[in-house]
């Protein structure tokens, strides 16, 4: 039996996004718990598709004693403020310093966190923890599929284990893998490590593991992970981050170095050999609207338009209106859109009451250049308090707290509005306000890929739309300054 301290701090930083993550953002709950310390963190993450939840259950069932420290996350955004990072880091280290004798520390990290004053914030956190626990206590972290893994992170951790799926339906499972790795290989960790970054950025929408090329590549990675290799991971990276480590990486751990090196290089060759298949595949706004207008859609099988550039799961704010306006202007029938972040309109809808008719200036609150609110008269069809539980494979078990919500209708369009921003990746976000997404003719979702976990089975067709928004789909259009020479800004043809 080992004594293992457990902590988590997750942030995916889009350094090009407009709004930073403050301490208040980490303290607030969204689909996931707000900042929680001590034993309460066990209850906070229980039953949710989160790595910490999987780690805790598995480590306990393997008979280990767990010491809870702190868990927090904030929605993807621009940099984590210095205040937020230093406060969370200080709390974590203070709790760790008084945790008593430990055999290991487990951290539930995202791996693409950038603070105002520290580019590699995950590497910094791992280094601070390592400094405190010394070289003999094991340090293992789980990472998101969108981690921008650095040499510093690899240097200070005994093992890093990342998700294998996007949509991330295996977050709990990744925590289980981290616990099993610690349990089975406590003594073997540290014998051989491998880390390499790959030389091109992968657009977010090309990273989906339900479709090619990553579907096959991830299967390949799974096959290569066999004795004496303890763990072999590929992270495609989070491309909207102007940091030297931005992009895909391969890393692994083994009892012997040579087979690990062979397997990692074979996997790298697979990715590089398919580079052109990772090219961006999106549709311009005008074409998407024409498609939506003319599509023959049978009832129960909506056409999905993914408004990827305003995905709040990647630094957007779920409040751009260009796509909505264009669909309204073109009189596209049977549109259901969501989830728009606009606390003011949600409050007005609640004040007006169900069934009322209200004049609203919807969306465009975050100030993205060129975006203006959708001014219209709306019927308030349904209201909600924003508290419900995630039912889809990605947000499974998540106890949502999105504040006052409303289902609004104008013309042929219904729009779901929330007071807190959250990626539209779970049908429960619509059902909460009494609308069944499968019954829409055209479903507009503020999401890039995660929506596929719950919505792809409903869809007659999925179209990734390039409408205005801060989360640029074309990575070569991002104004990078910190990438190392030779890194390609998009896949080579
Ligand atoms: Zn991710």
pLDDT, one tens digit per residue, over 249-288 is: 999 999 999 999 999 999 999 999 999 999 999 999 999 9
Residues around ion ligand 1, judged by CB within 5 A, are: 144, 146
pLDDT at residue 185, rounded to an integer: 82
E strand segments, 74-148: 104-109, 138-143
CA of 19 to the centre of ligand 1 (A): 19
Per DSSP, the three-state class of 262 is helix
Cα angle 193, 199, 204; round to 5: 100
| Whole-prediction pTM | 0.93
CA of 46 to the centre of ligand 1 (A): 20
Q: Does the structure show a pLDDT above 90 at 187?
A: no
Q: List, for residues 207-239, the tens digit of each pLDDT value.
A: 999 999 999 999 999 999 999 999 999 999 999
pLDDT at residue 493, rounded to an integer: 87
Q: List, for residues 330-379, the tens digit of each pLDDT value.
A: 999 999 999 999 999 999 999 999 999 999 999 999 989 999 999 999 99
Pairing outcome for strands 138-143 and 104-109: parallel
Report the b/e string of 229-242 with b at 16+ CB within 10 A.
bbbbbbbbbbbbbb
- C-alpha 421/C-alpha 319 separation (Å) is 9
pLDDT at residue 188, rounded to an integer: 83
E strand segments, 16-63: 36-37
CA of 145 to the centre of ligand 1 (A): 5
Give φ, ψ of 127 to 5 degrees: -65, -40
pLDDT at residue 462, rounded to an integer: 96
The answer to whether 361 and 342 are in contact (CB under 8 A) is no
Q: List, for residues 22-65, the tens digit of each pLDDT value.
A: 999 999 998 899 999 999 999 999 999 999 999 999 999 999 99
Quick one: residue 291, left, alpha or beta (phi over 0 = left, psi -120 to 50 = alpha)? alpha
CA of 161 to the centre of ligand 1 (A): 14
**Confidence tier at 299 by pLDDT (50, 70, 90):** confident
CA of 489 to the centre of ligand 1 (A): 19
CA of 63 to the centre of ligand 1 (A): 30
């Amino acid at each position: 039996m080992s004594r293992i301290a457990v902590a988590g701090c997750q942030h995916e930083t889009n350094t090009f996004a407009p709004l930073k993550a403050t301490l208040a953002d980490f303290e607030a709950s969204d689909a996931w718990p707000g900042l929680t310390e001590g034993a309460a963190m066990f209850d906070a993450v229980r039953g949710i598709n989160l790595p910490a939840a999987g780690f805790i259950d598995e480590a306990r069932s393997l008979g280990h004693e767990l010491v809870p420290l702190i868990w927090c996350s904030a929605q993807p955004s621009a940099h984590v403020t210095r205040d937020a990072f230093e406060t969370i880091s200080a709390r974590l280290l203070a709790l760790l310093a008084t945790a008593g004798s430990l055999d290991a520390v487990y951290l539930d990290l995202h791996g693409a966190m950038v603070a105002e004053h520290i580019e590699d914030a995950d590497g910094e956190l791992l280094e601070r923890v390592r400094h405190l626990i010394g070289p003999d206590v094991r340090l293992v972290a789980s990472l998101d599929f969108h981690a921008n893994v650095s040499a510093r992170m690899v240097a200070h951790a005994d093992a890093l284990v990342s998700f294998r799926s996007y949509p991330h339906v295996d977050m709990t499972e990744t925590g289980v893998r981290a616990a099993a790795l610690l349990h089975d290989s406590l003594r073997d960790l540290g014998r051989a490590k491998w880390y390499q970054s790959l030389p091109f950025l992968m657009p977010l929408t090309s990273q989906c593991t339900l479709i090619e090329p990553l579907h096959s590549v991830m299967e390949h990675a799974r096959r290569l992970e066999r004795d004496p290799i303890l763990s072999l991971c590929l992270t495609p990276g989070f491309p909207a981050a102007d940091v030297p480590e931005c992009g895909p990486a391969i890393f692994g751990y083994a009892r012997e170095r040579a087979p690990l090196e062979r397997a990692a290089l074979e996997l790298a060759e697979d990715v590089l050999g398919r580079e052109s298949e990772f090219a961006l595949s999106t549709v311009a706004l005008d074409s998407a609207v024409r498609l939506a207008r003319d599509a023959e859609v049978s009832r129960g099988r909506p056409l999905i338009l993914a408004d990827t550039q305003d995905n709040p799961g990647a630094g957007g704010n779920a409040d751009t209106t260009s796509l909505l306006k264009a669909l309204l202007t073109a009189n596209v029938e049977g549109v259901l859109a969501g989830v728009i972040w606009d606390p003011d309109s949600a409050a007005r809808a609640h004040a007006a009451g169900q069934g009322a008719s209200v004049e609203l200036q919807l969306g465009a609150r975050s100030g993205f250049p060129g975006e203006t609110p959708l001014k219209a008269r709306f019927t308030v069809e349904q209201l909600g308090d924003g508290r419900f539980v995630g039912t889809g494979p990605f947000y499974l078990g998540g106890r949502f707290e999105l504040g006052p919500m409303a289902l609004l209708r104008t013309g042929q369009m219904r729009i779901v509005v929330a007071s807190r921003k959250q990626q539209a990746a779970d049908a429960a976000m619509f059902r909460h306000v009494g609308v069944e997404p499968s019954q829409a003719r055209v479903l507009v979702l503020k999401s890039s890929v995660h929506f596929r976990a719950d919505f792809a089975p409903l869809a007659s067709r999925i179209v990734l739309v390039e409408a205005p928004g801060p989360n640029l789909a074309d990575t070569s259009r991002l104004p990078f300054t910190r990438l190392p020479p030779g890194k390609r800004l998009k896949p080579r043809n």
